[in-house]
Amino acid sequence: MLTLAALGAPLVFAILAACLLTLFIVRPGTPLELVPQLFVSGIDNFPLLAIAFFFLAGELMNVSGVTDRILRFANAVIGHVRGGLCQVGVVTSMVFAGISGSAVADAAAVGSVLIPAMKRAGYPPAFSASLIQTASVMGPIIPPSIPMIIYAVIAEVSVGRMFLAGIVPGLLIAGGLAGMSYWISHKRNFPRGERASAREILRATRDAALAIASPVIILGGILGGVFTATEAGAIAALYVLLLGTLVYRTLPPRLIWQSLVTAARGTATVLVILGASSIFAWIVADQKIGQQTVKLVFEISREPWVVLLLINIVFFIAGLFLDPLAALIILAPIFLPLASAIGLDLVHFGLIVVFNLMIGLCTPPVGYLIYLTARIADAPATAVVRESLPFLGVLGAVL
């Protein structure tokens, strides 16, 4: 599978080819009808509907100008401190994370607006890109979260509990990045914006209030038991749609259609990989690979902290070279028995795994967020990686 992926084969075909070959070798005579049955059963799952809805909510936010209003609000409140635009980037990413559930969507939406503004204000392009890419890691940690939905389906745990588990770590990430950017801003003497008047703060708050209410509605509804995480996705998409069409009037039919197509493509990309990986997971269970992994690791140590450290190292290395969702789908079934064997809560384990793999989005050689933000900033990718090191240290400390 890894060889085919390295040769450039689409991941879904690399997984399917590897699984078929494995079945022919270890289970000769297995009816091939099993393959499409497992594929379909892997995606025939109600909670997975939330992926499509949160993709759509993020796209609608991006094209309707909601992100701009959140940025103006954050700038009015904290833009006057030293390196104020850094704090604006962290706060905006945190708010946007409460709607989209995707790190890439977060980086594209916030970065396309804020990175050019930071460059105009005198911030180094590579530094601007490094801040936005690491802040975007909050996207899948602060609920809602597309990777957490996928993990919850694989591990058979509550999506709502997974979402709840991400709130405090997400706030820790935001606080750590804000503190580090404040320290760097003073050290490098970055500019500070003009202090907004009370009237300007009030106007920015009024303009952004309905946009900021979106994550509050999502979290409040899930916490209060008003609706499930899947229903929250539908409500979020509908809320942003109504906001853009009836309130802000910035969503013409052309942009709605564009958002639907983009969200459909994103959802399909995730689901076909998930369908193929359900065959992979069946082989892992059938061949007792999870139990063999437990036995192998326990030969090294039975100390929970040592086992957890080894798991983190494996997922970190996988995140360097694999797409995070692919690594999650492939490796989670293998290591879930090990997490259970050391008495680790599977919700806690899921949060650790998702966060670990999301850091891989900010590290070479794959690091999608590096290249995305470097392109927006028109800066060399190597310079973005170098500027990211202090922020990656913060993410590592939180992990």
Neighbours of 386 (CB within 10 A): 12
Residue 180 pLDDT > 90: yes
Q: What is the mean pLDDT of the chain?
A: 89
When pLDDT is averaged across residues 281-290 and rounded to a whole number, the result is: 86
Residue 106 pLDDT > 90: no
379: left (phi over 0), alpha (psi -120 to 50) or beta: beta
Which comes out higher in pLDDT, residue 384 or 221? 384
Instruction: Report the C-alpha gap between 239 and 109 in whole angstroms.
Output: 18
Which pLDDT belongs to residue 374? 93
The answer to whether 137 touches 90, Cβ cutoff 8 Å, is: no
The answer to whether 83 touches 349, Cβ cutoff 8 Å, is: no
Instruction: Report the C-alpha gap between 120 and 114 in whole angstroms.
Output: 10
Tokens of residue 321, six digits:
């070279």
- Which among 20-29, 193-202, 320-329 has the top mean pLDDT? 20-29
Q: What confidence tens digit (pLDDT) does each residue in 235-277 have?
A: 989 998 998 899 888 889 999 999 999 989 988 988 888 888 8
**Would you give the DSSP letter of residue 138?**
G
DSSP letters, 26-78, are HSTT--TTHHHHHHHHHH--GGGHHHHHHHHHHHHHHHHTHHHHHHHHHHHHH
When pLDDT is averaged across residues 282-298 and rounded to a whole number, the result is: 87
Which pLDDT belongs to residue 219? 81
When pLDDT is averaged across residues 218-224 and rounded to a whole number, the result is: 82
Which comes out higher in pLDDT, residue 380 or 58? 380
Percent of the chain whose predicted confidence (pLDDT) is above 90:
41
Which pLDDT belongs to residue 325? 83
Smallest CA-to-CA distance from 323 within 173, 50, 161, 140 is with 140
Residue 102 pLDDT > 90: no
Smallest CA-to-CA distance from 125 within 111, 142, 109 is with 111
Q: How confident is the model at residue 338 (pLDDT cuts 50, 70, 90)?
A: very high
Which pLDDT belongs to residue 217? 84
Tokens of residue 22, six digits:
């494995």
Residue 146 pLDDT > 80: yes
Which pLDDT belongs to residue 170? 94
Smallest CA-to-CA distance from 370 within 381, 383, 386 is with 381
Please enumerate in sequence order all residues whose Cβ is within 8 A of that of 81, keeping only pairs 6 or more positions apart, or say none.
87, 182, 192
Which pLDDT belongs to residue 48? 86
The answer to whether 292 touches 320, Cβ cutoff 8 Å, is: no
Instruction: Report the C-alpha gap between 226 and 229 in whole angstroms.
Output: 10
Which pLDDT belongs to residue 148? 93
Which pLDDT belongs to residue 388? 95
The burial class, CB within 10 Å (0-12 / 13-18 / 19+), for 258 is middle
Residue 54 pLDDT > 90: no
Which comes out higher in pLDDT, residue 223 or 21? 21
- Please name the amino acid found at residue 168: V
Q: How confident is the model at residue 310 (pLDDT cuts 50, 70, 90)?
A: very high
- Please name the amino acid found at residue 64: S
- Please name the amino acid found at residue 89: G
The burial class, CB within 10 Å (0-12 / 13-18 / 19+), for 9 is middle
When pLDDT is averaged across residues 97-108 and rounded to a whole number, the result is: 85
Tokens of residue 25, six digits:
């070798």
Which pLDDT belongs to residue 62? 78
SS3 call for 189: coil
Instruction: Report the C-alpha gap between 225 and 248 in whole angstroms.
Output: 30
The answer to whether 247 touches 241, Cβ cutoff 8 Å, is: no
When pLDDT is averaged across residues 6-28 and rounded to a whole number, the result is: 88
Which pLDDT belongs to residue 312? 93
- Please name the amino acid found at residue 78: I
Q: Tokens 């850091």 correspond to what residue?
A: 359
Q: Tokens 């997975």 correspond to what residue?
A: 48
Neighbours of 204 (CB within 10 A): 21
Q: What confidence tens digit (pLDDT) does each residue in 122-137 have?
A: 899 999 999 999 999 9
Tokens of residue 317, six digits:
């290395």
Q: How confident is the model at residue 346 (pLDDT cuts 50, 70, 90)?
A: very high
Q: How confident is the model at residue 215 (pLDDT cuts 50, 70, 90)?
A: confident
pTM value > 0.85 = yes
Which pLDDT belongs to residue 352? 95
Alpha-helical runs (H) found in 101-227: 103-120, 125-135, 146-155, 159-165, 167-188, 198-223
